[in-house]
Amino acid sequence: MASHADLPVTVTYHHVDVFSAVAYAGNSVAVIIDPPPLTATQMALITRELRHFETVFVQTGPAGGQARARVFDLAEELDFAGHPVLGAAAVLHQTTGGAAGVPRDWTITLKARGVQVRTIGSADGHVSAVLDAGKPEFLGTLPLAEGPAVAAALGLTAADLDDSLPLEVVSTGLRYLVVPVRGGALARAGIRHDDFTGFLGGYGAQFAYVLDAETPEGRHWNNDGILEDVATGSAAGCVAAFLLRHGRAGDAQERSLSQGRFTGRPSQLAITAYGSPGAVERVTVGGDVATVATGFLHQLPAAR
């Protein structure tokens, strides 16, 4: 019988945890750098096999610091995702070398758009990364009369909503309905609507993010309500913009957004918005990235 050492190494993958300085916390992602040509079906099958929330496939460009990326979750390809991009940039930083303490800049182009990421490594090999999510879009505030319906869809009552803040749709690539709640409600929240995707679509949103703005701490689920996300980078930029717009953060004031407590994988997302309440210019989302493992795919799924 052949040993593992005798098997051909087809593709190398990196397992990292994003938004945590230590392994086995934060949001895990598999990162594959410069794989052979793969179809979307093959990438989807690899993602399902590895069983991370997402896998990011990165193709580096001829110019240093540039790459194209495709992100898949267990159901589909995503136009944009925050933590896979940060994880990919951290792996690029580690695998291409760089002096400790010297920042490196990356341009990573996704299906929806290109983004800028800055990475910096420490002497012990640890990497942190910051994504410039660009200028946010404020896509509408819900009428007060919609509060009870939104609360009920999340297993809450209207009294659980933080009435000092609006229900608002914000986007930095994906459209999130930000649902501010009072502290105790966060633990009780969960999707309780049979067609949550359709429900959110009526407000022009794709997803919902439940936020305790005082802490701040948030929660997010897949729209079927079955799977809770550990740390949602694409939503964190929306939260940064929301907090500045409504006077809960200042220009260039970094806040630490907590998520993942209810999944057993505590995460800290560094969020910053720039500008003024009336004109939010851009937002950044960052955090630590912990390396867990490097592995090999000895076989690839058949192209079909």
Just list the catalytic residues: 54
Q: What residues contact residue 92 under an 8 Å CB cut-off, 6+ apart?
A: 33, 58, 60, 67, 106, 119
Q: Are 116 and 86 in contact (CB under 8 A)?
A: no
Residue 88 sits at φ, ψ, to 5 deg, of -65, -45
Q: Are 271 and 284 in contact (CB under 8 A)?
A: yes
Output the CA–CA distances (angstroms, integers) from residue 29 to 53, 146, 222, 293, in the order listed: 7, 36, 16, 11
Rounded CA separation 32/291 (Å): 14
Using the structure block, give the residue that is written with the tokens 């717009």. Answer: 245
Two tokens at 144?
């007060």
Work out whether the CA dihedral 248, 250, 255, 260 comes out positive or negative.
positive
**264: helix, strand or coil:** coil
Instruction: Give the number of other CB atoms < 10 A from CB of residue 188.
Output: 13
